[in-house]
Amino acid sequence: MNVLPLLEMSNRYLLDRERENLELPPGMSIIRRHERSSIEAQVYEPVMCLILQGSKVTSIGDQTVELNPGDALLVSHELPVVSRITRASENEPYLALILPLDPGLLRSLYEQVADAPESISGSVRSLAAGPVDPAWIAPLTRYFELMDNPLDAKVLGPSIRREIHYRLLLSPIGGMLRNLLVADSHASRIAKAIRKVRTDFRSPLSVPDLAKTAGMSPSSFHEHFKSVTGTTPLQYQKDLRLIEAKTLLAGQRSVSEAAFAVGYESPTHFSRDYSRKYGVAPSRHAGVAILEQVSAA
């Protein structure tokens, strides 16, 4: 099953949304870019991203995935991801369809999917990618079609969105999502630690304290954190700091101000880490290219 119907609906929405008074279904958004990008970094919340046109490379830690039309990215945890749009033009822009995942909705489905065969789990990664699956692309298409009828979107949308979540859980790229739902699993324990790091990323990081939050020994915690996220706790914190710093620099904060604001004690150390991550000195990032993202009202 190809993504042409979704591509056609996306183009129609972007071109005619005001004239036809079209509204995207709740939660859905479209990202459009007319040119290739330099290295960009942002924190991905749990989300499904489907590439409709163009190409993109996304990575965290030592894991890198290349996404082309018809490929989907499924993110189960909050991850500081580096990405770069590698194919886009004025005549054929990069287009991606985004649908955030609802943790409450996923949890409500756990009992129904708990006994599903393990063979369906496929790739057990928090950043999983693969080709579209007819099982979930069909309800996703129906969900998008609701833009023509706001009343249908209000009445029927929740049940279709629930179906999408169910199909994603059972898909070959949904293994980590299923692990995350299991109480006291490594995935759910690491999720608790991730929330703590995100809340306190400006403060010095204590791996033993994080391990205690996760209910693990420091060595076990370090191993499972990297298994789930693809990176180490210290690198995860550093990535969060550098992503926030880029936003501050775009807001005309000085290099020193940005460094101290995100928790660095040395602007020199900050500049070195920043240059290593983004390929340019922080002083060169007076502004940041922003993805054009059109969301539901």
CATH number at residue 17: 2.60.120.10
For 149, the token pair is 């009828």
Q: Based on the fold, state whether residues 145 and 247 are members of the same structural domain.
A: no
In a domain, 256, yes or no: yes
Q: Based on the fold, state whether residues 68 and 202 are members of the same structural domain.
A: no
For 273, the token pair is 């880490």
In a domain, 145, yes or no: yes
Q: How confident is the model at residue 172 (pLDDT cuts 50, 70, 90)?
A: confident
Question: Helices in the chain by DSSP H: which ranges?
Answer: 4-16, 103-108, 110-113, 134-145, 150-169, 175-181, 186-199, 207-214, 218-229, 233-250, 255-261, 267-278
Q: Based on the fold, state whether residues 110 and 219 are members of the same structural domain.
A: no
In a domain, 102, yes or no: yes
Q: Based on the fold, state whether residues 31 and 105 are members of the same structural domain.
A: yes
The tens digit of pLDDT for each residue in 203-247 reads 999 999 999 999 999 999 999 999 888 899 999 999 999 999 999
Check whether 297 has a pLDDT greater than 70: no
Backbone angles phi, psi at 56, to 5 degrees: -150, 145
In a domain, 296, yes or no: no
In a domain, 240, yes or no: yes
Which amino acid belongs to residue 233?
P
Give which of 230, 192, 229, 198 is closest to 214, Cα–Cα. Answer: 192
CA 230 to chain centre: 14
Q: Based on the fold, state whether residues 189 and 77 are members of the same structural domain.
A: no
State the average pLDDT over residues 110-132. 71
CA 90 to chain centre: 25
Q: Based on the fold, state whether residues 18 and 131 are members of the same structural domain.
A: yes
pLDDT for the residue numbered 289: 45
Q: What is the CATH number of the domain that holds 207?
A: 1.10.10
Check whether 129 has a pLDDT greater than 80: yes
Q: Based on the fold, state whether residues 77 and 163 are members of the same structural domain.
A: yes
Q: How confident is the model at residue 119 (pLDDT cuts 50, 70, 90)?
A: very low
**What is the C-alpha to C-alpha distance for residues 181 and 162, in angstroms, rounded to an integer?**
15
Q: Based on the fold, state whether residues 67 and 167 are members of the same structural domain.
A: yes
CA 78 to chain centre: 7
Length of the chain measured in residues: 297
Give the residue numbers spanning the domain of 214.
183-225
Q: How crowded is the C-beta side of 265, counted as CA atoms within 13 Å?
A: 2
In a domain, 295, yes or no: no
Q: How many domains does the chain have?
A: 3
State the average pLDDT over residues 37-52. 92
**What is the C-alpha to C-alpha distance for residues 62 and 83, in angstroms, rounded to an integer?**
13
Q: How confident is the model at residue 1 (pLDDT cuts 50, 70, 90)?
A: low
State the average pLDDT over residues 98-106. 93
- Indicate the SS3 state at residue 141: helix
- pTM here? 0.87
**What is the C-alpha to C-alpha distance for residues 296 and 26, in angstroms, rounded to an integer?**
6
Please say whether the dihedral angle defined by the alpha carbons of residues 50, 55, 58 and 63, taken in this order, is positive or negative: positive
Q: Based on the fold, state whether residues 88 and 101 are members of the same structural domain.
A: yes
Check whether 286 has a pLDDT greater than 80: no
Q: Based on the fold, state whether residues 169 and 187 are members of the same structural domain.
A: no
In a domain, 15, yes or no: yes
Q: Based on the fold, state whether residues 10 and 94 are members of the same structural domain.
A: yes
Q: Based on the fold, state whether residues 13 and 117 are members of the same structural domain.
A: yes
Specify whether the CB–CB gap between 201 and 240 falls below 8 A.
yes
In a domain, 297, yes or no: no
Q: Which of 225, 242, 258 delimits the end of a domain? A: 225
